């Protein structure tokens, strides 16, 4: 899922011309549809939806003042709130007494010679960022040629994978030429100078369609750039186009079809950063940008075999990005290597007053940093039922690096219950779609899809929501205690409590390829009943597909996670394998 707080003025939400076919009038949105007001039977029925029970006398007491409560809600709904209006309250992942990681305030990447430029365009396209950056800096390849290689691959493979919503060849070549002119003048803007990338289509791009993957917004053209677009441009990166996302940042179904996994095009790429995962895995860009609310970087990285870094909440500005959940949305790089993610994050990092949740915190990374002394833990329950042989092999590989890996634990808390916070914020972000009945225009209408989820969220209790926020604080304390004893936690991203817990606490996560499994074609991901599923495998022929492992770290301590990730990536030696479609 995904992101907030656009700096531009987004196009207004679509206005309905009447109730959708088959949908009964809403007596709350339209009080005239129910002139009598709520009765005792209505209260009793509502109790069943909320999981509470009142006595007949208690119900009778409510009758005199419920109408005022409803009228207040209806009056508030008369104020239309566009997607860029933030919440007044804001989430801060730091607990009292938080201390930033004790590390030198510098960023240093690999200084090794990138070697000779390959003869094959495909080999160039799949090269890691340190080599691409080295070739450009040395004049071995121009940004224009590199951009042309990726544009040709997009033209050939993009339609098969349905991973680009919009391609911007003229803009890309113009930006590449600008980078080359600077190179000739002896100016290099940094590690992404002249490097072409794909941008998830929920980030505003001035004059370029930004459709959020959803039919009601498919013609939306913003008049400003998102904050990270400006940062990437200032760093010399080249925008190839907008990668697809599942509608409103959920799954891989969008108004242009289903984004496909390059390892098995019969199945979806997972989501919601579906196009970013698919395009990067297939070598259609050097790197891409994804977002995560609950699994939207890690899940497509798992499915497509890419390496994704979900930074600490607040590290990267979300200004100019579609808001799904203000207290959860995070922005991060999706790449083909661990150091690549560090290079991209070094450009994205930085405070921004346009994002109320932005936190000013330096990014520390040293490619030469060793892993000696790192304290590594794992949750035994995460390696129980549901874990694969690849997961267990990855844990052993960490031990083989000479590190002591010990079992750790988290308190027994209902972590999955926190997902109701996501439902409530997402339903609020797109309330107009529900109240105007324009949610019916979205293609994906299954039980787990957003339209149904938004409707059900109207029945969530506000009291429970406050209590969930307090539970969230307990979970923050639990993870704070965990990372006081260890530096990095290793485990499967889906089993165990960490996918939910770490997203709600804002802790960073690196997901990298760890091996391969043979699997039949898998179905769509789903989010419901307090858990996320990446899709069940159907019967049929199997395909060799990638499998990843996750590393979590302390708040704003991505450096430790990246150090272990680089060492593990080298030990596993599976990052260079390419999907058959490539």
Identify whether residues 70 and 204 lie together within a single domain.
Answer: no
In a domain, 52, yes or no: yes
DSSP code for 184: H
- Of 17, 45, 79, the one marking the end of a domain is 79
Residue with tokens 């008049």: 223
Identify whether residues 39 and 152 lie together within a single domain.
Answer: no
Identify whether residues 471 and 404 lie together within a single domain.
Answer: yes
| CATH number for the domain that contains residue 310 | 3.90.1300.10
In a domain, 457, yes or no: no
Identify whether residues 220 and 73 lie together within a single domain.
Answer: no
Q: How many CB atoms lie within 10 A of CB 491?
A: 25
Confidence of residue 3 (pLDDT cuts 50, 70, 90): very low
Identify whether residues 482 and 541 lie together within a single domain.
Answer: yes
Summarize pLDDT for 159-206 with one digit per residue, the tens.
999 999 999 999 999 999 999 999 999 999 999 999 999 999 999 999
Comparing CA positions, the residue from 113, 121, 118, 119 lying closest to residue 138 is 113
Is the pLDDT assigned to residue 32 strictly greater than 60? no
- For the residues of 383-449, what is the DSSP string, one character each? GSTT--HHHHHHHHHHHHTT--EEE-------GGGGHHHHHHHHHHHTHHHHHTTGGGGSS--STTS
Identify whether residues 282 and 361 lie together within a single domain.
Answer: yes
Summarize pLDDT for 233-289 with one digit per residue, the tens.
999 999 999 999 999 999 999 999 999 999 999 999 999 999 999 999 999 999 999
Identify whether residues 201 and 71 lie together within a single domain.
Answer: no
In a domain, 8, yes or no: no
Is the pLDDT assigned to residue 14 strictly greater than 80? no
In a domain, 151, yes or no: yes
Residue with tokens 């006081």: 484
| Inter-CA distances, 291 with 1, 129, 260, 316, 404, Å | 7, 20, 18, 11, 33
In a domain, 516, yes or no: yes
Query: What ranges in 486-557 are assigned the alpha helix state H?
Result: 498-505
| Inter-CA distances, 422 with 111, 289, 541, Å | 42, 22, 36
Mean pLDDT for 467-482 is 98
Q: How many CB atoms lie within 10 A of CB 518?
A: 9
Identify whether residues 532 and 385 lie together within a single domain.
Answer: yes
Q: Is 525 exposed, middle or buried (0-12, 13-18, 19+ CB in 10 A)?
A: buried
In a domain, 93, yes or no: no
Say how far apart CA 10 and CA 226 lie, in whole Å: 11
Instruction: Give the count of domains, the chain.
Output: 2
Identify whether residues 324 and 409 lie together within a single domain.
Answer: yes
Residue with tokens 């549901």: 386
Identify whether residues 282 and 354 lie together within a single domain.
Answer: yes
Identify whether residues 472 and 556 lie together within a single domain.
Answer: yes
Which residues, at least 6 apart from 445, have a Cβ–Cβ distance to it below 8 Å? Answer: 451, 452
Say how far apart CA 482 and CA 135 lie, in whole Å: 42
Mean pLDDT for 524-542 is 68
Length of the chain in terms of residues written: 582
In a domain, 495, yes or no: yes
Percent of the chain having pLDDT more than 70?
Answer: 91
Point out the residues that are catalytic: 200, 272, 296
In a domain, 406, yes or no: yes
Contact between 345 and 558 under an 8 Å Cβ cutoff? The reply is yes
Percent of the chain having pLDDT more than 90?
Answer: 87
Higher pLDDT, 153 or 27: 153
**Residue 59 lies in domain:** 28-79
In this predicted structure, what is the pLDDT of residue 540?
85
- Both tokens of 193, joined, read 């100078």
Is the pLDDT assigned to residue 505 strictly greater than 50? yes
In this predicted structure, what is the pLDDT of residue 374?
97
Say how far apart CA 379 and CA 398 lie, in whole Å: 14
Summarize pLDDT for 74-119 with one digit per residue, the tens.
999 999 999 999 999 999 999 999 999 976 668 999 987 999 999 9
Triad 91, 81, 442: Cα angle to 5°? 95
Identify whether residues 227 and 342 lie together within a single domain.
Answer: yes
Summarize pLDDT for 343-399 with one digit per residue, the tens.
999 999 999 999 999 999 999 999 999 999 999 999 999 999 889 999 999 999 999
């Amino acid at each position: 899922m995904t992101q907030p707080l656009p700096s531009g003025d987004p196009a207004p939400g679509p206005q309905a011309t009447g109730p959708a076919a088959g949908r009964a009038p809403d007596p709350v949105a339209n009080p005239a549809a129910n002139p009598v007001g709520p009765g005792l039977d209505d209260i009793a029925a509502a109790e069943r939806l909320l999981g509470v029970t009142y006595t007949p006398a208690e119900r009778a007491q409510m009758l005199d003042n419920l109408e005022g409560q409803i009228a207040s809600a209806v009056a508030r709904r008369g104020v239309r709130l566009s997607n860029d209006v933030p919440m007044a309250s804001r989430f801060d992942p730091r607990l009292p007494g938080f201390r930033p990681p004790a590390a030198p305030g510098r960023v240093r990447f690999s200084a090794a010679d990138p070697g000779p430029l390959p003869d094959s365009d495909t080999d160039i396209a799949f090269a890691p960022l340190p080599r691409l950056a080295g070739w450009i800096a040395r004049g071995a390849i121009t940004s224009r040629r590199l951009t042309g290689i990726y544009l040709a691959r997009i033209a050939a493979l993009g339609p098969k994978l349905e991973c680009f919503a919009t391609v911007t060849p003229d803009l890309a070549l113009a930006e590449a030429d600008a980078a080359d002119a600077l190179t000739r003048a002896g100016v290099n803007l940094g590690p992404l100078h002249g490097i072409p990338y794909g941008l998830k289509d929920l980030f505003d791009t001035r004059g370029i369609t930004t459709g959020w993957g959803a039919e009601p917004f498919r013609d939306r053209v913003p008049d400003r750039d998102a904050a990270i677009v400006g940062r990437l441009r200032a760093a010399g990166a080249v925008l190839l186009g907008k990668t697809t996302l599942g509608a409103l940042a959920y799954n891989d179904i969008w108004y242009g079809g289903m984004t496909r996994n390059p390892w098995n095009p019969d199945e979806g790429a997972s989501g919601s950063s579906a196009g970013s995962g698919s395009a990067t895995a297939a070598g259609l860009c050097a790197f891409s940008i994804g977002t995560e609310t609950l699994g939207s970087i890690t899940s497509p990285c798992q499915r497509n075999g890419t390496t994704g870094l979900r930074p600490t909440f607040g590290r990267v500005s979300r200004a100019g990005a579609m808001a799904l959940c203000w207290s959860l949305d995070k922005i991060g790089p999706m790449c083909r290597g661990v150091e690549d993610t560090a290079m991209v994050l070094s450009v994205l990092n930085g405070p921004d007053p346009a994002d109320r949740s932005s936190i000013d915190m330096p990014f520390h990374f040293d490619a030469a940093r060793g892993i000696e002394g790192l304290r590594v833990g794992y949750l035994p329950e995460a390696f129980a039922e549901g874990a694969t042989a690849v997961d267990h092999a990855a844990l052993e590989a960490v031990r083989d690096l000479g590190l002591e890996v010990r079992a750790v634990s988290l308190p027994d808390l209902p972590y999955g219950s926190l997902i109701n916070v996501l439902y409530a914020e997402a339903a609020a972000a797109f309330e107009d779609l529900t109240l105007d009945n324009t949610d019916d225009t979205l293609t994906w209408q299954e039980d787990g899809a957003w339209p149904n989820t938004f409707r059900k969220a109207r029945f969530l209790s506000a009291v429970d929501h406050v209590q969930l926020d307090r539970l969230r604080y307990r979970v923050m304390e639990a993870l704070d205690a965990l990372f006081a004893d260890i530096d990095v936690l290793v485990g499967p991203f889906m089993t165990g409590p960490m996918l939910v817990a770490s997203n709600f606490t804002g802790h960073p996560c690196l997901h990298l390829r760890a091996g391969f499994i043979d699997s039949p074609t898998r179905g769509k991901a789903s989010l419901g009943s307090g858990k996320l599923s990446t899709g069940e495998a159907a019967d049929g022929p199997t395909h060799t597909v990638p499998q990843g492992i996750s590393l979590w770290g302390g708040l704003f301590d991505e450096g430790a996670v990246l150090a272990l990730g680089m060492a593990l990536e080298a030990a596993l030696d599976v990052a260079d394998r390419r999907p058959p479609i490539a």
